[in-house]
């Protein structure tokens, strides 16, 4: 199966800002990421806050550049393309941002916000054709075309998120990065948005890179899942494999935490030992792992194939 999106040995380091009052050491947020997403697939990315999920999404749409490694889209290396050379890919790769309240320009009507994408990418359209397309997009996302004349402050959070989806699909992309798009919405509105995304995939054959901390939602919507911990992929597999038979100690702890009363996974993980820190060559989960062995402290695990579709990065399999 030909891949749609492929990350090859991706690393991302955020360096110290030159104007910062106090200098800080560079922070590596992604470590040697290798990941493949196929056409029409929904690929879920899960992990606690700070695991690198959103950074991965930003790299996909070129809001940020990797420090090393390569990103391939439809087997073309898009990593170091100039802005002009990358322009054709903007039609194929879109992002829906987490915060629907700040994702829209408050000075524009929602119709004008959607129309911006058409103006930029479909220059052959005249004004009348763009307005017709905006009306059709609003209907496809479950909104009345009359809403096009409203400003963002007049809409609910769910309506704003639908506008964000309409704007993303306006130019018929092949891939949409959905970054925590239902996190700020009520549960009932979440269900409507997720069903809409599934319907749109069926209609337009789109693929999604679906980033979320909500494990139940990822399990429901995703075909495959990757689990990130401190910028490293520790487990990948079919959604049912990962959620019904998690094999990595971090994945097991993460899924166990989803049934806890606290939703902040940072409070769930037990601290083992006497505060020793990992060496740079050791397993990133060593200090918190309930299955750790002596070898784990100084040896970084390779990715192990459990089945053709299920892989983990662990020394104690």
Between the CA atoms of 254, 72, 205 and 240, what dihedral angle is there, to the nearest 10 degrees?
A: -20
Q: In whole angstroms, what is the distance from residue 285 CA to residue 288 CA?
A: 6
Q: What are phi and psi of 13, to 5 degrees?
A: -120, 130
What are the pLDDT tens digits along the chain (317 aa)? 679 999 999 999 987 655 555 666 788 999 999 999 999 999 999 999 889 999 999 999 999 999 999 999 999 999 999 999 998 899 999 999 888 788 889 999 999 999 998 888 878 889 999 999 999 999 988 899 999 999 999 999 889 989 999 999 998 899 999 999 888 788 888 888 899 899 989 888 999 999 998 999 999 999 999 999 999 999 999 999 999 999 999 999 999 987 643 444 443 444 433 333 344 679 999 999 999 999 999 999 999 999 999 999 999 87
- β-pairing, 27-38 vs 42-46, is unpaired
Burial of 24 (0-12, 13-18, 19+ CB in 10 A): exposed
117 close to 171: Cβ distance less than 8 angstroms: yes
Q: What is the pTM of this model?
A: 0.88
| 205 backbone φψ class: left, alpha, beta (φ>0; ψ -120 to 50) | left
Q: In whole angstroms, what is the distance from residue 314 CA to residue 301 CA?
A: 5
Q: What is the pLDDT of residue 119?
A: 87
Burial of 147 (0-12, 13-18, 19+ CB in 10 A): middle
Whole-angstrom distance between the N-terminal and C-terminal Cα of the chain?
Answer: 28
Set out the domains of the chain in order of their start, with CATH numbers.
3-92+173-313 (3.40.50.300)
Q: What are phi and psi of 306, to 5 degrees?
A: -85, -40
Q: In whole angstroms, what is the distance from residue 147 CA to residue 228 CA?
A: 39
């Amino acid at each position: 199966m030909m891949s749609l999106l492929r990350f090859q040995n991706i690393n991302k380091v955020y360096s110290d800002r030159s104007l910062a009052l106090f200098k800080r050491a560079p922070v590596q947020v992604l470590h040697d990421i290798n990941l493949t997403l196929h056409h029409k697939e929904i690929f879920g990315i899960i992990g606690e806050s700070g695991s690198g999920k959103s950074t991965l999404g930003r790299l996909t749409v070129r809001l940020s550049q990797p420090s090393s490694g390569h990103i391939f889209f439809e087997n073309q290396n898009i990593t170091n393309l100039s802005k002009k050379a990358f322009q054709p890919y903007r039609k194929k790769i879109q992002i829906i941002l987490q915060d629907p309240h700040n994702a829209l320009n408050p000075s524009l009507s929602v119709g004008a916000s959607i129309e911006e994408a058409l103006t930029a990418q479909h220059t052959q359209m005249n004004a009348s054709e763009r307005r017709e397309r905006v009306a059709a997009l609003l209907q496809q996302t479950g909104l009345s075309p009359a809403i096009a004349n409203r400003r963002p402050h007049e809409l609910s959070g769910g309506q704003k998120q639908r506008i964000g989806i309409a704007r993303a699909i306006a130019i018929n992309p092949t891939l949409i990065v959905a970054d925590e798009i239902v996190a700020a919405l009520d549960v009932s509105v979440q269900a409507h948005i997720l069903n809409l995304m599934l319907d749109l995939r069926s209609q337009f054959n789109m693929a999604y890179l679906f980033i979320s901390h909500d494990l139940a939602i990822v399990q429901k919507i995703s075909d495959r899942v990757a689990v990130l911990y401190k910028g490293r992929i520790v487990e990948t597999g079919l959604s049912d494999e990962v959620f019904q038979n998690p094999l990595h100690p971090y994945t097991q702890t993460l899924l166990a935490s989803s049934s806890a009363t606290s939703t902040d996974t940072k409070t769930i993980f037990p601290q083992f030992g006497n505060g020793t820190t990992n060496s740079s060559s050791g397993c990133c989960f060593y200090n918190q792992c309930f299955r750790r062995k002596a070898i784990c402290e100084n040896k970084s695990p390779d990715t192990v194939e459990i089945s053709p579709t299920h892989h983990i990065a662990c020394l104690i399999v």
